[in-house]
Copies of this chain bind each other. A is one copy, B any other.
């Protein structure tokens, strides 16, 4: 079997490095020695365990992607920067390169429009952590079908992320919207945000090595009269958890591409990937 040519964009970013490392470690894939990078990156190359990857600055992206497409017909994994999401997607579609977009932010509607107006399929998901995506889908199902399920209940939400993360997590926002639909009055401003490494270590039991990168969420729901209590927790340490989902998305896209009918500008989500349609 010919290995799939993978181009990982967003090096030398942390998550992009995880993705590139995975491609290097598995014979099914061949990591291409180029990566789109940001305008503030000075290095011209990144050494990934003795494999040298050329970092392509934005002004050269268009021409070089054209050449890479012609020579290697690759599949792209994009973990770049919110500010680059839309222009990158436009380039991928222009050159007809299918891609998995794990980068968050940017103009999401424009992102989807770019793909659907082209003829290249893509998997786009702001969260590639499969189990969290699945859990969210279950609660979305509840929100759709059981609109008043938790009416009269109160909720507390606490979440901890690495110091420096200023915004509320998209996962928490989505989960809260599902509980809102199930009858609970709660706004994202009420979330208890933890960003203090000392407390994370001592009160949350977050391992030292993950104080710099983690996402802990707990949703606690109680009936006012103490008669019932529900709690859902999902805790993530590090960035490795995004690798399996991203490569499942790659495999999903390869399957789609093997069927000429699917070579259309369709946007798939992680739910599609999990369902293995």
Contacts and interface: CB of A to CB of B under 8 A. Distances in A.
A230 B131 contact: yes
Interface of A is mostly: mixed
29 contacts: A131-B153, A131-B228, A134-B146, A137-B141, A137-B142, A137-B145, A138-B138, A138-B142, A141-B141, A145-B274, A145-B275, A149-B274, A207-B226, A225-B240, A227-B236, A227-B238, A227-B240, A228-B234, A228-B235, A228-B236, A228-B237, A229-B233, A229-B234, A229-B235, A230-B233, A230-B234, A231-B232, A231-B233, A232-B233
Contacts of A247: none
Contacts of A230: 131, 135, 233-235
A81 to B, nearest CB: 24
Given A138-B138, A229-B235, 8 more contacts: A134-B146, A207-B226, A223-B241, A227-B236, A227-B237, A227-B241, A228-B236, A232-B233
A142 B146 contact: no
Contacts of A130: 149
A240 B138 CA distance: 27
Interface in A104-126: none
Nearest to A238: B227
A146 B275 contact: yes
A139 to B, nearest CB: 6
Interface residues of A, number: 38
8 closest A-B pairs by CB: A231-B233, A138-B138, A229-B235, A134-B149, A138-B142, A141-B141, A134-B146, A146-B274
Interface in A179-232: 182, 207, 223, 225-232
Task: List the number of copies, as a whole number.
Answer: 2
Contacts of A275: 145-146
Contact of A134 (B142, B226, B237): B142
A226 B237 contact: yes
A146 B234 CA distance: 17
Interface in A244-277: 274-276
A77 interface: no
Nearest to A274: B146
A44 B235 CA distance: 57
A146 B241 CA distance: 17
A29 interface: no
A129 interface: yes
Contacts of A238: 227
Contacts of A223: 241
